Amino acid sequence: MPIKTAALVIGGVLLSVTPGLARDPLSAIDWLETAPPVANIPATLLLEPPVARTGRGPDITVTPLDRLLPAVGLVSANQTGLPLTLWQGSAPARLAELIRDVPVNDLPAMQSLLMTLLLTEARPPFRDRDQLLLARLDRLRDSGAVDPVQALVQDAGPTESPARFARWFDATLLNGDEDRSCAALTADPYLTQDYAARIFCSARRGDWPTAALMLDTAHALELISDAELALLDRFLNPDVYEGMPPLPQPARPTPLEFRIFEAIGEPMPTAPLPRAFASADLRDIIGWKAQLEAAERLTRSRAMNPNQLLGLFTARKPAASGGIWDRVAAVQRFDTALGTGSAEAVRKTLPALWRAAHDAGLEMAMADLFAPRLAELTLSGPAAQTAWTLRLLSADYEAAAATPPDPSNANRFLASLAQGQPDPALAGSALQRAIAQGFAPDTGMPAAQKLLLDQGRLGEAILVTIKSFSHGADGNLEAVALSLAAFRHMGLEDTARRAALQLLLLPRG
């Protein structure tokens, strides 16, 4: 046999065998080692009584198979108020399409509702082959919620299929937790056909000879591209390329490419990349400015808790002025003013906070953070109006409705809306009239959503209504009215009120 042919054959064998030789003991991953639970049954498998007492057959309880499917989610149904049967009755492909495509940009109430749907504990529809779970994971990733992606797929079982593993692997790479997924890949190399991932994990776990051998063999068998070869070669042999010009960076890198570029000392900025990459800038090894920018980006999509943003904003003094540093200074000054309990100090610092929030699209975050403390102060003039606006945007909107800063028709309409009974006589614009119609007692459920609810397809009905409301926010006022009515008929009164208030109080960019 010619030498070259023999090398190729040996290399092909190594690609499939060497990962197994290099694997760590299964105890490297605790949950892989855990034995399945054993049912508490008698020693005999004969569970029916051995002798019938009558000639009548035993009673049989019939349970649809879809009710037996395990629920998947991070937040219990008791907390979200949504039933475990949320997705029952709907076609998995239809649900997956809606989840991936429903628009929620610049609509905080819709972003929050969608996030609740994605995270709530619910059973998948019958005969679902992971379509719903994968769609949930993909939409969470697109929103930048990488931590929930990792947690949700770990809850469902990340090694049950290559598709689940791919989402888990990407999430761990962006979170800096790749040791977990690499250990799983070492234990079962057939979870992915991506040889770059296998090479990276071998090197990450300290098996450099195997990683180098796999790279040479994969190149000989033309299993990786020239760009992957150049990147992985620098990753495995950094001394050889010391002083060489940087590699060209891909316009849309994978999380693996992103991490390898970082490892070879050529980190990529996350601002032009999809939102999921912003989570990589929240690690402690990243500079404060990059952390702040990433936190703002994730907070805007409701993928990050505002308290985390405040923690970063108040971690240290601003390093410069202009841009994000002005926002940091404004938040710190206002937070300090609130801490003093002085209405005058708050009056002086509130305008700068509101401008900073508006510039960064963080009005909802500032409302969530500061509205409860603002309710304790008595303000006057423009500061009172701004403080009232922040309170209306917060979860405390109904209490705020009792104390409008002045009796103008606009404020009275907002107050009546916050109480769930917008007064049509106070409506001064077409949008306000559409909102009042949506809350009118005689506005019924739209036919499309009524049909879905009659068929028990609640989750699909909510997704359809989110889509309809998003179209309404773009200018279709009839869709605004019908969507608000649909939310209220489905028991989502809080969502309806907050969505309507946000349409009136937040600028649409």
At 160-174, the pLDDT tens digits run 999 999 999 999 999
pLDDT of 27 > 50? The answer is no
pLDDT per residue as tens digits for the range 326-376: 999 999 999 999 999 999 999 999 999 999 999 999 999 999 999 999 999
Distance of alpha carbon 147 from alpha carbon 135, whole angstroms = 16
How many percent of the chain have pLDDT more than 70? 86
What proportion of the chain, given as a percentage, has pLDDT over 90?
81
Burial (0-12, 13-18, 19+ Cβ within 10 Å), 48:
exposed
Global confidence as pTM: 0.85
CB atoms inside a 10 Å sphere around CB 185: 26
What is the predicted pLDDT for the residue at 64? 57
- State mean pLDDT over 449-472: 96
Report the pLDDT value the prediction gives residue 184, as an integer from 0 to 100.
96
Query: Across residues 244-268, what is the average pLDDT?
Result: 95
Q: Which stretch of 44-53, 78-87, 490-499 has the lowest confidence by average pLDDT?
A: 44-53
- Band of pLDDT at residue 59, cut at 50, 70 and 90: low
At residue 75, φ and ψ (nearest 5 deg) are -120, 130
> Taking 70 as the threshold, does the pLDDT of residue 246 lie above it?
yes
Cβ–Cβ under 8 Å, residues 486 and 458: no
State the Cα–Cα distance between residues 281 and 295, nearest whole angstrom: 8
pLDDT over 50 (residue 14): no
User: At residue 196, does pLDDT exceed 90?
Assistant: yes
Q: What are the boundaries of each domain within the chain?
A: 324-406, 416-505
- Asked if pLDDT for residue 29 goes beyond 60, the answer is no
